[in-house]
Chains A and B, each alone.
Chain A
Amino acid sequence: MINSEGNAGQPAKKVLKLDKVCKRFGGVVAANDISIELFPGEVLGLIGPNGAGKSTIINLITGVYQVNDGKIFIEGKDITKAPAHTRAREGITRTFQHPHLLQRSDIATNIFLGMDLARKKDNKMQTGEYKELLDRLLQVSGLDDLDFDDGIGRLSYGEQKLLETVRAILSRPKVLLLDEPAAGLNQRELEKIKALVRIALDMDAAVLFIEHRMDLVMSICHRITVLNFGNLIAEGTPAEIQENPVVIEAYLGRKRGA
């Protein structure tokens, strides 16, 4: 469990800011006064037991859900009330826990959808630049020898998750939200996800990483935020989080006889 000591925590300009965000579903508080900041070129891990409110946070950031209280800013711009498509065009791109690809279209169409989003943000970009980025992404993810006229149904689950991540990075996000990108993936595919995240970091994206596999979280994240029952219970570097008694208790339960 080695933490890559990158340039995390540098006082760079923050790209995404959640300010005391609350979300309630009836009586259930899914997010309670959550404040999170994301900086370009860093990976923030968002961990917590099932039902802790991790996916809710992503849904709030992307505009799938609207917040009850609090504010969300991207590069200082208030997007609290903005619809999902506006936020996507501001540079927030996500993947889903279960890949949400165009199930009835071919692979090429799916990939081009990511390019479409990039063009909506910056139409000055040349096709050659996309080509370069796409080639790199496909090569790293091992998807480069597929038949792109094939339907999505011919891809394995892991390939679909990789493809969704490729598509997300291809849209050149400022903020990349990955919702359990490694769930259901084997070790080889896991390495590919890591390599893809590194490409996103090279592009100066801020990555929010939800994951249950602790080895992956500890090896890839610069900072970690821990949620439990909609509350933010801990923040810090991977090393700090591993030592944090509150986190250990939330994850493993109270030690017998402690």
Chain B
Amino acid sequence: MIKRKNLFSAANIAWLFVIVLAIMLPFTVSGYMVRVLSTTMITYMCVLSLYVLFGMCGQSSFVQCGLWGVGAYITALLTTRLGAPPLLAMLGSMVGTALFAFLIGLVLFRLKRYYFAFSTIGLMMVLNGLFQNWKEGTGGALGISDIPPFGVGPFQISSGQGNYYLILFFAACATLLIWALYRSSLGRSFMAIRDNETAANCMGVNSLISKDIAFGISGALCGVAGALFSFLSGYISSTSFTLPTSQLYLVIIMLGGTASPGGALIGSFIITLLPEWFRPLKDYMQLIYGLGIMGLMIVLPEGLVGGGKDLYDKFRRKRRPTGKKSFEA
């Protein structure tokens, strides 16, 4: 029978390293940096949602930031207007955003290939318009303030470090779930659609429903990320949920690589931390950043993780040639 990777593969060791690093970091960096890292992990969850939709299912989307906003507003409204407990509000964000994405997807996925991507640009603009102008619902341009921090029962999470670990916990859970999805038959149906939709249909995959489920799952991830953002910042407004941010998510996943969640993680950290580290470069940063992305796309079209994996494979094979291929030509 088929043997899968063992537990101590290079990828798993890398993940273990990341987790240990993530747990240790808040003790070594400034409070400001902890906050930057927290928002980076929220970004990572949004990019992870794009990994499901784009990386696994092959459907590029420009609406992930809008879905993130839907999640943030649901939590903000549930906690401030109805006084819902934070955990319930977060659950509401997850289910609500997933349902929203699923229902919209039923319509949008009638469009094939890049027409779906175009339609999500429209959806993103509609959502942003709604956040900005629907005074009764979203508070209009003023946004919603005084969102209570996360807490369960008597435990309130108000410190920067507390929020960091809260977000880390959910980011880790999301990663594990997506990893399980990758190994599941649902995940395989996504990947079959990505590689050839007709062939996927011929293998019994209902592509309309599968794509829509992928969109729904990505909505659930964005919903949780949005709820976490609401708790972290205590204030949300339409300026956070824009088309350029959605585009940035696509850049991040292209940079990191679409082949694994690791790409989303590495991409998120590079794109959000580089500007922090190279702040002295000021305006030149944009130029270097743009050129850097263009260069990477040429040198490593599969992204950093994809390119790294190729290198690793080459090294591994050189060291331990399999010599199993017995077919001629």
Q: Give the B-binding residues of A (Cβ under 8 A).
A: 62-64, 83-85, 88-89, 93-94, 96, 100-105, 108-109, 111-114, 116-117, 119-121, 131, 134-135, 142, 145-149, 156, 158-159, 167, 171, 186, 188-189
- Given A105-B191, A188-B327: A85 in contact with B201 (beta carbons within 8 A): yes
Q: Check: B177 CB closer than 8 A to any chain A CB.
A: no
Q: Do B199 and A112 have beta carbons less than 8 Å apart?
A: no
Q: Do A102 and B1 have beta carbons less than 8 Å apart?
A: no
Q: Do A147 and B189 have beta carbons less than 8 Å apart?
A: no
CA–CA, A15 and B197, complex, Å: 27
Q: Do B195 and A85 have beta carbons less than 8 Å apart?
A: no
How many residues of chain B have a CB within 8 Å of chain A?
A: 30
Q: Do A189 and B327 have beta carbons less than 8 Å apart?
A: yes
> Could you say which residues of chain B place their CB within 8 Å of the CB of A89?
204
Q: Do A116 and B202 have beta carbons less than 8 Å apart?
A: no
How many inter-chain residue pairs (CB < 8 Å) link A and B?
100
Q: Do B203 and A134 have beta carbons less than 8 Å apart?
A: no
- Given A83-B201, A85-B206: A102 in contact with B192 (beta carbons within 8 A): yes
- Given A85-B206, A112-B188: A64 in contact with B327 (beta carbons within 8 A): no
Q: Give the A-binding residues of B (Cβ under 8 A).
A: 1-5, 185, 188-189, 191-192, 194-196, 198-199, 201-207, 259, 322, 324-329
> Could you say which residues of chain B place their CB within 8 Å of the CB of A88?
201-205
CA–CA, A21 and B37, complex, Å: 63
Counting from the closest, the 7 A-B pairs by CB-CB distance are A100-B199, A84-B201, A88-B204, A116-B185, A117-B204, A102-B195, A85-B206
**Which residue in chain A gives the minimum CB-CB distance to B328?**
A186
> Could you say which residues of chain B place their CB within 8 Å of the CB of A121?
204
Q: Do B5 and A63 have beta carbons less than 8 Å apart?
A: no
> Could you say which residues of chain A place their CB within 8 Å of the CB of B2?
108, 111, 134, 148
Q: Do A158 and B327 have beta carbons less than 8 Å apart?
A: yes
> Could you say which residues of chain B place their CB within 8 Å of the CB of A145?
324
